[in-house]
Chains A and B, each alone.
Chain A
Amino acid sequence: MSKIQTFSSFVKRLIIIIVGLLITLTLLFSLLAYFVPSVKELQDILLSSFGNPSLMLNYLDQKGLGLNSLFFKVVVFPGFTWAALIAAEIIWFERKFLAKMQMRVGPLYAGKIAGLLQPIADVIKLVFKEIIAPSSSDKWFFLSIPIIITSIAAALLAVLPVSEGWIIMRSDVSVLIIFALVGFVPIAVLLGGWASNSKYPFIGALRGLHQMIAFEIPMLISTLGVVLLTGTLDLVNIVYAQSNIWFILLMPIGAFVFFTCMIIELERIPFDLPEAESEIASGYLTEYTSMAFGNLQLGVYIRFYAMAGVFTTMFLGGWYGPQILPNGFEIANQVIWFTIKTLLVMILAIVLRGVNPRVRIDLLLRMGWSSLLILSFVNLFLVILILQTELSQIFGV
């Protein structure tokens, strides 16, 4: 292979590869279509649907991949692609917003308007990098961690009610499902730290473990308050219960405790001890490179979106909101309101990131076990107070 001299020769080479790939694919496709009937049928529809796309749509419905099929919900709308898109744009927004708060510009050149395509540029860059697993590390565990963490984050989306109709899996124990999944992340973090078999990631993994275990209990108790008030474990019913009053007005302390625990759970800056750059060289993420690191980051931000979604469903009244679209589009209106509230929660977390230094591990644990725990119990008593007295009738809960 001749040495790639300049950028233009690199692009030339890239084009040659892509064109070659396209040609072989079409040849293969037409060959297959000649023998296998179903592929021939797909080819005819593909060619004829250029005229009117509806042909393609009902072909997909036939096949069970249509708009309101489970496949579409899981893969596209409230599922992975929608969350990945929001996660990518949140990364862009965070970098742009923090930059503005810090007197600088932030991403600028990727994409025409103010670096909008920066996340996509990052992904392309990461794809071309080489995945290096340290020689002394346990390779299979090491490389499986990014996949595990991203899949947990994506699994969280399953029970998230984006709007009345649009929910992937409506089960009457969805709150339990969420906390089961959230509980699994520290184990994955510990595995990651242990598998990379070097000192700094191990310290980072241990800290991650301490942090997440310490803060699941206050989080659980504050959600217990919500569950007690509504009497159900199903997120959709929780949202229905908030039709005339949002729970954040009923139990602000519970909301505050849940929000703080959420940030600690997600290891955001005031509490990002597991990957504290200045002390232990970015903790358990140290040894990951290229797409493994990219996958991890995507997983972290999808989990950020999912947890913010859970916060909005439980405390900010899910998809309820004044009717801004003409009455034909109720579902779209609900989706818009759900997304706006989730984005607001995420923006608040980003502002906290711009304003605070990192917390030390002992301060964090002391705060967790003492103040947050007490606050969550106080919130519990308030909820019981509301339930027992006739206040609950007033709020129509």
Chain B
Amino acid sequence: MSKLSLSVGPQHPGSGHMRIILTLSGDYIIEAIPDPGYVHRGEEKLAEYRNYIQNIPHLERPVVLDATGAIFPYVLAVEDLMNIIVPERAQFIRVIMAELNRIISHLYYMAIYGIFMGHSTMFMWPVGDREVFIDLANTIAGQRVTYAFLVPGGVRNDMPEKVKEQADKACNYFEKRLIEYEHIFMNNPLFEKRTKGVGILPKQDAIRLGVVGPTLRASGVKSDVRKDDTYSIYNQLDFEIPVSNACDSWSRAWIHMEEMRQSMSIIKQCLKRIPTGPVKLNLKQIKVPPGESYSRVEAARGSLSYYLISDGGKVPYRVRIMTPSFRNLITIPYIMKGVMLADMPPTYWGIDYWPVEADR
């Protein structure tokens, strides 16, 4: 069978801003080599020229869909170095914002998953419902997407009272919507036929390759940084980690749906148990003593970690950002083998890969 080399370029409706070099025999992909780097901005180098506050809007940029998830580990690392304890109410608000961001990012995931399958309704519904949660985040943090809301020492402003009942209305509405999603997307016979058994990542490979996030949990490994390496107040909240042993594209989408339900129950718990009190320590100056710290957080796409080295100066000495998309990038050659060309976009998007976040 003659081999056809096809480069699914940075400008292709089926892939993000990165290129995958496919060698096809007929319609089947034999080999896929990812070629990232088209949106590399040198975040780590630029972070060495900004002080600890100026870095916050800067480091949120790559993970644009999940801004709280991006900045949470940075803030934890700085607080770990400064040895300060953040007030209780700020911890709760941070968790609420992180879970809201998870739902927003998962909805975007479902939308693009749908349009890559040619299912225009599956694009429109999640994007429409995403507005509900973006509006909620807007009332809390004052911004719609990149909040710059978490700072070392707490959160920037308090949560207005009306968020409680607005969140309840949003969650009740969205629970009903998830059932509709299941009917029209997940249990749609054609959707199942196209995604079940496609893009298999067996469990040993998932562990060996250090995969993170829903892709890992879809391959049967029950690991979530919120439960394993608990940070902030996640140990006081009870929620389950959805796991599926099917290791295929369908289960990755299913995990995202389940996680949205868990996030909503977390938000409800936090809103019930949030204490009163200050939301930020009054740090006149951010003085970070020399040292290094490694902190990681379960962002929407997986475990996002920061390795922060400070030499006591105003600017960090070295910031190493390890994003979930970069760690999932290694699965592309494995899951693309034997997949048909038509299934390349859903399989590629199944591992929730965001090129901007991977290139930093």
> Which A residues have a C-beta under 8 Å from some C-beta of B?
98, 101-104, 199, 203, 269-270, 272-273, 276-281, 354-363
Contacts and interface: CB of A to CB of B under 8 A. Distances in A.
12 contacts: A102-B123, A102-B124, A102-B125, A103-B125, A269-B118, A278-B116, A279-B14, A281-B12, A355-B121, A355-B184, A358-B118, A360-B343
Interface in B332-360: 340-345
Contacts, number: 80
Contact of B193 (A98, A272, A363): A363
A278 B115 contact: yes
Nearest to A206: B27
B287 interface: no
B119 A356 contact: yes
Interface of B: 6, 12-14, 27, 114-125, 128, 184, 188, 190-191, 193-194, 340-345
A360 B198 CA distance: 12
Given A103-B128, A278-B14, A360 B118 contact: no
Contact of A101 (B14, B121, B340): B121
Given A269-B120, A359-B190, 10 more contacts: A104-B124, A104-B128, A199-B6, A276-B118, A356-B190, A357-B118, A357-B191, A358-B194, A359-B193, A360-B340
B85 to A, nearest CB: 45
Nearest to A272: B118
Contacts of A355: 121, 184, 188
Nearest to A361: B342
A86 B120 CA distance: 24
Contacts of A357: 114, 117-119, 122, 188, 190-191, 194
A205 B342 CA distance: 15
Contacts of A363: 190, 193-194
A358 B128 contact: no
Residue picked from A269, A273, A279, most chain B C-beta under 10 Å: A279
Nearest to B195: A357
A69 B12 CA distance: 52
B28 to A, nearest CB: 10
Question: Main SS of the interface on chain B?
Answer: helix
B190 A270 contact: yes
Contact of A278 (B124, B188, B345): B345
Contacts of A354: 120-121
Contacts of B125: 102-103
Contacts of B184: 355
A254 to B, nearest CB: 22
Max chain A C-beta neighbours (<10 A), residue from B118, B121, B188: B118
Contact of B194 (A104, A269, A359): A359
A81 B118 CA distance: 32
Contacts of B13: 277-278, 281
Nearest to B123: A102
Contacts of B193: 359-360, 363
A273 B342 contact: yes
A279 B341 contact: yes
A365 B233 CA distance: 53
B176 to A, nearest CB: 14
Contact of A102 (B120, B194, B344): B120
**Residue of B121, B184, B188 most packed against chain A (CB within 10 A):** B121
Nearest to B112: A278
A199 B340 CA distance: 17
Contact of A358 (B27, B117, B341, B344): B117
A272 B344 CA distance: 17
A102 B342 contact: no
Contacts of A101: 121
Contacts of A103: 124-125, 128
Contacts of A273: 342
A199 B125 CA distance: 33
A352 to B, nearest CB: 10
A162 B118 CA distance: 35
Contact of A279 (B122, B191, B342): B342
A146 B191 CA distance: 33
A362 B344 CA distance: 14
A277 B114 CA distance: 13
A268 to B, nearest CB: 11
A348 to B, nearest CB: 16
Nearest to A359: B190
B26 to A, nearest CB: 11
A272 B190 CA distance: 13
Nearest to A269: B118
Contacts of A279: 14, 341-342, 344-345
Contacts of A102: 120-121, 123-125, 128
Name the 8 nearest CB pairs between A and B, nearest first: A358-B118, A102-B124, A357-B119, A357-B117, A103-B128, A360-B342, A278-B14, A278-B116
A278 B13 CA distance: 5
A361 B118 CA distance: 13
Nearest to A277: B13
Nearest to B131: A103
A269 B188 CA distance: 14
A361 B339 CA distance: 12
A357 B190 CA distance: 6
Nearest to A363: B193
A267 to B, nearest CB: 12
A58 B12 CA distance: 60
B230 to A, nearest CB: 38
Nearest to A103: B128
Contacts of A278: 13-14, 115-118, 345
Contacts of B27: 361-362
A280 to B, nearest CB: 8
A3 B56 CA distance: 47
Contacts of A269: 118, 120
